[in-house]
Amino acid sequence: MFIKALRVGLGQLIIFLDFITRPRKLRRTAEAQARVAEETASLALYQFNACPFCVKTRRALHRLNLPITLRDAKNDEGHRAALLAGGGKIKVPCLRIEENGESRWMYESNDIIRYLESRFAKA
């Protein structure tokens, strides 16, 4: 019971610290942001709200100004099942990339951030 309360408390602290130290969004022209929004429509991030690696990844999404759909794999059984069926394991963060009618599942926060930066940092 104590351990669970500690985990919940630490999770809420992580979320609060993320909120008050959130980086500035990348600024783009309206046309460039519309193109980015169109390209990110095929992406979804499976995550847990208080997971430190998910927070790190969401901070990168915020900094890069990417409107990527967030899927709560902890509290939504449908998203959890989709993550297991598609990615093969329940591990977050996980970025689902839809390209040419096929899905690719990318795990590891650093890999996800590197991919997003290479694809969208100069968009």
Return the pLDDT at 123: 58
Domains in the chain, start-ordered, CATH in brackets?
2-120 (3.40.30.10)
Return the pLDDT at 44: 98
Return the pLDDT at 29: 94
Q: Output the pTM of the full model.
A: 0.87
Question: Could you state, in chain order, the average pLDDT of each consecutive group of 10 residues for the chain (123 residues)?
Answer: 83 84 90 95 95 95 97 96 95 96 95 96 73
Q: In the structure encoding, which two tokens stand for residue 8, read together?
A: 């919940």
- What is the crossing angle of helices 52-63 and 2-20, to 10°? 10
